[in-house]
Amino acid sequence: MTRAVLTAYFVLVASFLLLPLFFLVPISLTDSQFLEFPPKSLSLRWYREFFVDQSWVDATLASLKIGVGATILSLLFGTLASVALVRADFRAKGLLTAIFIAPLIIPSVVIALALYIVFLRWQLVNNIYALTLVHALIALPYVVMIVSGSLRRYDMTIERAARVLGAGPTRAFLYTTLPYLMPAMFASAILAFFASFDELIITLFISGGLQTLPVRIWNDLSLKLDPTVPAVAVMLTLLSIVGMTVGEIVRRRNERRYQSNSVSEA
Amino acid sequence: MKLRWTKTTLLLAPATVLAALLFVYPVFGVLKLSVHDGTAFTTDALRQVYNSQLSIIVLQRTFVTAATVTGICLVMGYPMAYFMAGLSPRKRVLATYLILLPFWISILVRTYTWIILLGREGILNKALAALGLTAEPVQLLYTPMAVHIGMVQILLPIVILTCLTSILDVERDLVKAARSLGASPRQAFWKVVFPLSVSGAATGGIICFILCLGFYVTPTLLGGRTSTLIANLIDLQVHKTLKWDLAAVMASTLLAATFSCLLAYWALTRKRSEFATGGLAR
Amino acid sequence: MTMTRRAFGIGTGALAAAFAFKPSFAQDVTIVVNGSGGALATMITKIFEEPFTRDTGIKVRATAPVSLPKLKAMVESGNVEWDLTELNGDDVVTATKAGWLAKIDYSIIDPDNKLPAIAKQPTAMVRASYSTVIAFRTDKFGKGKTPQSWADFWDVKAFPGPRSLENSPKGNLEFALLADGVSPDKLYPLDIDRAFKKLDQLKPHIPVWWTNGAQHVQLLIDGEVSMTSCWNGRITPLRNEGKPVDITFKGGALMLSFLAIPKGAKHPTEAMRFMKARMDPAASAEFVKLVPYPGFVPGMMELLDPAFAATLPTSPENAAVQFEFNSAWWAENLDAVTTRWNEWLLI
């Protein structure tokens, strides 16, 4: 009896979480120039519109560039830092960990304001490289948390064995530990990419005229009437589902291989 | 195998430089700006903010909204987590996947869908009218209720997952013990699972509360004039009235509130290392 | 030997002649022109910037958005990126008072002295004029019944339904006073208390206060509101598409938008030459057909279809029923009024 009630409740809440997104699909498929539900006739017009409109394409390319750059940088910086955080002993360890993770917890608007003030002084507003670095900072917490978590669970005997067999410390790390870390790095790369790809508030403050995809959507939400935004939303959602599925598959394969016991980290 | 300090320094350098230049230094700049006008220390901006009825009310509103949304999320999320904890591992993974799915979708997009749903000529109003329940369109969009709905939808998955983790932890070890000592399932829940998982749920609540404090997109898109939260006010002071010192005071206040919550969080999780990061991971 | 020298002489002469065809006076200068971006920027590039580069060799890089904080930071740090920027009326007054704008040399922009005096301010030149007017749904109030004044806008019995106004005191105080019976020529200095009292009456009927560009259009089309204040250019294209919307210029606020040169700009002379290009009648006529915010370009109105010219905010019939927005008063009072506005609105 309680079970049945709970099941019904689960379905209800899950649909509250998911249902709104289903409405996007028919709305994006309308042939009309305005948002309408249900659509009177179906077409892919607004999907086409997205690829024809240079500003949408530019914004997408900018987001991809920044996203890839931020992912590579945060993955590199974050993994290096994780190795030190897990394996070295030093006094400021707790403080540094807190600083690396803080950008995830501190409200974006605080960071946005702080960066806007210094970027105006440094003439870095509207600079794509500076923006990429900022996105790398936003993505860093994910990499540090996941990679250092995975590293902490790592059985050092394998690397030690490599050392005993004559490999130098760097070689030993590259040939034994790095392959083990790969899945965690992959998972954190996906998270890092999405953290950058989805970032709005900080970008809104410091990007100047440069438009990333979220900024473009944000501008469009109040500037235009047509259903390009739902069409973009549907495409983004599909991309997210693919990203999440890939991430989940890699995580599970990793779990099977190393029999880690984490419940559901990704 | 411990690392030597030169190597440690080299490994830490890139991330540290990045965080120092783009995070620590700017944030300290904001803190300084709130008490320093460029030439001397001053409490001018502080006094202006704390003597202004507007900033006090918006600050209050932000905390009340955060508390309300957190409360709703906990009340809605805990039973969800309890249900999921009772599923077979395979089904649980599937359910987790389902709950996490919206979490991967742009906050902007998720908020946008509520505009379509809640508008005067939106889907919900049309449905209500078609069912004959309302004669006039109901004002749903641009109300505090719309903001609450939008925020709960965004934050609920986090709360569900933190609750789930804590319930699973308790169940694994203690429920079997309680049952074997003769407790009924109901007793096992109310006497063992619930009290012990409450602290886990509380940590989820704190994270939810902190995230609420910084909400910007949802109140802007779904709220009316009385839904303005502190992040919106900061934006206003920066871009419209150009009073950066006031914006800095508000940002510092927000920062202080976040830190107080984090202290509470650490106090709760000190002995439960699994929460140190688990709840924050996406 | 002489032969070669002569040949050489001819050669260089020809070369010099060839160079003379290409404008060589402004090689490799790029001016940075800051505007509001978006679709408008694309049109400005096509209609003004590309021909300007062809004619003068001066390249133009467009940036966005218009931001007073950025201007302030640039001038104060001495590292000025923009050579020219768009600004609205009260921004010009604020920026001039703060000393962020350079003086403009109108002998470069307007050598024949054809621009009307109103367009030529010491630190800024009028780029465009636009109106904030009443826009409304034609299908919500019954047949033939349309709002004709701000008094009608305030009359929630005769014209029921939610409304929207801009989230800014600018213009709204004037509208409230007009609705309260103040005559347009006696608006300034504004009676702030009276305006807020009048706004109090309408406050409960405004679920949403628009903040930018065409949000008001979206609200109107989506049926979120039945009436809103609105920029004059946004509604006509929608009406032409058959949407049930219209505007009235009655009681509209005629506002000006400017081009100005930041103090310390790197290429002020080139920027002024670009300002001259922006005053070209034929290009401006082309531009106004796409964006109906005309300004005072001499000789432009004559190039337009009279029926179209009549829909512009500066046409004599429309200008007569509007009032001129007083930027100077606003710059003087903006701080105090904005603080009061925010307290009034957001609490």
Q: How confident is the model at residue C38 (pLDDT cuts 50, 70, 90)?
A: low
Which regions of B60-212 does DSSP assign to beta strands (E)? none
Please report the number of interchain residue pairs, chain B to chain C, with beta-carbon separation below 8 angstroms: 56
Give one word for C196, left, alpha or beta, with left for phi > 0 and alpha for psi -120 to 50.
alpha
pLDDT of C19: 47
B165: nearest CB among A20, A160, A263: A263
CB contact under 8 A, C214 and A33: no
State how far Cα C124 lies from the chain centre. 12
CB contact under 8 A, A110 and B251: yes
Specify the fold of B42-278: MetI-like fold (1.10.3720)
In what helix (H) or strand (E) does residue C70 lie, and over which residues does it extend?
helix C68-77
Q: Find chain A residues with C-beta within 8 A of B246's C-beta.
A: none
Kindly report the average pLDDT of chain A as a whole number: 86
CB contact under 8 A, A33 and C79: no
Which regions of chain B does DSSP assign to beta strands (E)? none
Percent of chain A with pLDDT strictly greater than 90: 38
Query: How many whole angstroms separate alpha carbon B55 and alpha carbon C342?
Result: 10
In what helix (H) or strand (E) does residue C253 lie, and over which residues does it extend?
strand C245-260
Given the DSSP bridges, would you call strands C227-231 and C323-324 parallel, antiparallel or unpaired?
A: unpaired
The count of other CB atoms within 10 Å of the CB of residue C145 is: 13
Q: Find chain A residues with C-beta within 8 A of B45's C-beta.
A: none
The type of residue at A113 is L
Q: Find chain A residues with C-beta within 8 A of B23's C-beta.
A: 99, 102-103, 111, 114, 137
Quick check: helix, strand or coil at residue C254? strand
The mean pLDDT value for C7-27 works out to: 48
Under DSSP, the state recorded for B36 is: B
Q: Find chain C residues with C-beta within 8 A of A34's C-beta.
A: 221
Residue B24 has pLDDT above 90, yes or no: yes
Q: pLDDT by residue (tens digit) across A2-53? A: 789 999 999 999 999 988 878 888 888 888 777 777 788 888 888 998 898 8
Residue among C98, C87, C96, C93 nearest C65 (CA): C87
Residues 6+ apart with CB under 8 A from C246: C135, C136, C138, C146, C235, C239
In what helix (H) or strand (E) does residue A44 lie, and over which residues does it extend?
none
The mean pLDDT value for C236-242 works out to: 78
State how far Cα B112 lies from the chain centre. 19
Q: Token pair of A103, please? A: 């950008």
Q: How many CA atoms lie within 13 A of A149 on its CB side?
A: 26
pLDDT of A266: 36
The answer to whether C82 touches C63, Cβ cutoff 8 Å, is: yes
For domain C131-255+317-346, is the CATH number 3.30.390.50?
no
Q: Token pair of B249, please? A: 């005071």
Q: pLDDT by residue (tens digit) across A103-113? A: 999 999 999 99
Q: pTM of the full predicted structure?
A: 0.84
pLDDT of C24: 44
The mean pLDDT value for B200-207 works out to: 87
Q: Find chain A residues with C-beta within 8 A of B258's C-beta.
A: 105-107
Q: pLDDT by residue (tens digit) across A48-69? A: 988 988 878 989 999 999 999 9
CA closest to B18 among chain A residues: A137
The answer to whether A136 touches A77, Cβ cutoff 8 Å, is: yes
Between B258 and B195, whose confidence is greater? B258
Q: pLDDT by residue (tens digit) across A149-181? A: 889 888 788 888 888 888 888 888 888 888 888
CB contact under 8 A, C339 and B241: yes
CB contact under 8 A, B242 and C68: yes
In chain B, where are the structural domains located? 42-278
Query: How many whole angstroms separate alpha carbon B216 and alpha carbon B230?
Result: 8
CB contact under 8 A, B15 and A37: no
Residue A244 has pLDDT above 80, yes or no: no
Residues 6+ apart with CB under 8 A from B242: C68, C69, C72
CB contact under 8 A, A17 and B213: no
Residue among B154, B195, B196, B143 nearest B66 (CA): B154
Query: How many whole angstroms separate alpha carbon B246 and alpha carbon C251?
Result: 36
Range with the lowest mean pLDDT among A233-237, B150-154, B171-175, C273-277? B171-175
Given the DSSP bridges, would you call strands C227-231 and C30-34 parallel, antiparallel or unpaired?
A: unpaired
The answer to whether B1 touches A87, Cβ cutoff 8 Å, is: yes
For Cα atoms B80, B82, B86, give the angle at the middle one, nearest 5 degrees.
Answer: 115
The type of residue at A241 is I
CA closest to B149 among chain A residues: A16
The mean pLDDT value for B67-88 works out to: 94
**Backbone dihedral angles phi then psi of residue C236, each to the nearest 5 degrees:** -50, -50
The answer to whether B234 touches A109, Cβ cutoff 8 Å, is: yes
Q: pLDDT by residue (tens digit) across B234-261? A: 998 888 777 889 999 999 999 999 999 9
Residue B216 has pLDDT above 90, yes or no: yes
What separation in angstroms does the CA of C32 have from each of A131, C85, C274?
A: 21, 8, 11
Q: In the complex, which subunits touch B with 3 or more CB pairs below 8 angstroms?
A: A, C
Q: Find chain B residues with C-beta within 8 A of A115's C-beta.
A: 22, 26
CATH class of domain segment(s) A57-258: mainly alpha
Given the DSSP bridges, would you call strands C245-260 and C323-324 parallel, antiparallel or unpaired?
A: parallel
CB contact under 8 A, B224 and C208: yes
**Backbone dihedral angles phi then psi of residue C95, each to the nearest 5 degrees:** -70, -35
Say which residue the tokens 């369109």 belong to: B137
Q: Which residues pair with C257 in a beta bridge?
A: C88, C128
State how far Cα A30 lies from the chain centre. 30
Q: Find chain B residues with C-beta within 8 A of A88's C-beta.
A: 2-3, 5, 7-8, 11
Direct distance between the N- and C-terminal alpha carbons of chain B, in angstroms, rounded to an integer: 31
Q: Token pair of B129, please? A: 């009218």
pLDDT of A98: 92
Residue C25 has pLDDT above 70, yes or no: no
pLDDT of A263: 38
Looking at domain C23-129+257-314, its CATH architecture is 3-Layer(aba) Sandwich (3.40)
Residue among C230, C234, C238 nearest C133 (CA): C230
Residue C17 has pLDDT above 50, yes or no: no
Query: How many whole angstroms separate alpha carbon C69 and alpha carbon A201?
Result: 17
CB contact under 8 A, C212 and A120: no
Best to test chain C binding among B240, B245, B246, B250 (most C CBs inside 10 Å): B240
CA closest to A218 among chain B residues: B108
Q: Is A123 on the interface with C (CB under 8 A)?
A: yes
Residues 6+ apart with CB under 8 A from C183: none
Query: How many whole angstroms separate alpha carbon A116 and alpha carbon A108?
Result: 12
Q: How confident is the model at residue A1 (pLDDT cuts 50, 70, 90)?
A: low
What separation in angstroms does the CA of C242 have from each of A63, A227, C98, C225?
A: 37, 18, 47, 18
Q: How confident is the model at residue B107 (pLDDT cuts 50, 70, 90)?
A: confident
Say which residue the tokens 């469009």 belong to: A220
The mean pLDDT value for B258-271 works out to: 83
Q: pLDDT by residue (tens digit) across C43-84? A: 888 899 999 999 999 999 887 778 888 888 788 877 788 999
CA closest to C205 among chain B residues: B139
C338: nearest CB among B141, B226, B241: B241
pLDDT of B1: 53
Residue C118 has pLDDT above 90, yes or no: no
Q: Is C224 on the interface with A (CB under 8 A)?
A: no
Query: How many whole angstroms separate alpha carbon B60 and alpha carbon B5?
Result: 47
Q: Which of residues 42-101 of A touch C (CB under 8 A)?
A: 55
B102: nearest CB among A17, A133, A248: A17
Residues 6+ apart with CB under 8 A from A221: A229, B108, B112, B115, B221
Residues of chain C with CATH 3.40.190.10: 23-129+257-314, 131-255+317-346
Between A74 and B94, whose confidence is greater? A74
Percent of chain B with pLDDT strictly greater than 90: 41
Residue C212 has pLDDT above 70, yes or no: no
The type of residue at C141 is F
CB contact under 8 A, A209 and C222: no
CB contact under 8 A, B15 and A100: yes
Q: Is the dihedral of CA A45, A51, A57, A63 positive or negative?
A: positive
Residue among B162, B146, B63 nearest B112 (CA): B146
Residue C21 has pLDDT above 80, yes or no: no
Percent of chain B with pLDDT strictly greater than 70: 94
Given the DSSP bridges, would you call strands C227-231 and C124-137 parallel, antiparallel or unpaired?
A: antiparallel
B113: nearest CB among A13, A24, A77: A24
B57: nearest CB among C208, C224, C347: C347
Residue B119 has pLDDT above 80, yes or no: yes
Q: Token pair of C107, please? A: 């002998």
Quick check: helix, strand or coil at residue C30? strand
Q: In the complex, which subunits touch C with 3 or more CB pairs below 8 angstroms?
A: A, B
Residue B31 has pLDDT above 60, yes or no: yes
The mean pLDDT value for A237-257 works out to: 77
Q: How many CA atoms lie within 13 A of B215 on its CB side?
A: 37
Kindly report the average pLDDT of chain B as a whole number: 86
CB contact under 8 A, C343 and B238: no
Q: Is the bond preceding residue A141 a cis peptide, omega within 30 degrees?
A: no
The mean pLDDT value for A180-197 works out to: 89
The mean pLDDT value for B94-98 works out to: 88
Best to test chain C binding among A221, A223, A228 (most C CBs inside 10 Å): A223
Residue among A257, A239, A88 nearest A182 (CA): A257
Q: Is C214 on the interface with A (CB under 8 A)?
A: yes
Residue C150 has pLDDT above 60, yes or no: yes
Direct distance between the N- and C-terminal alpha carbons of chain C, in angstroms, rounded to an integer: 92
In chain A, where are the structural domains located? 57-258
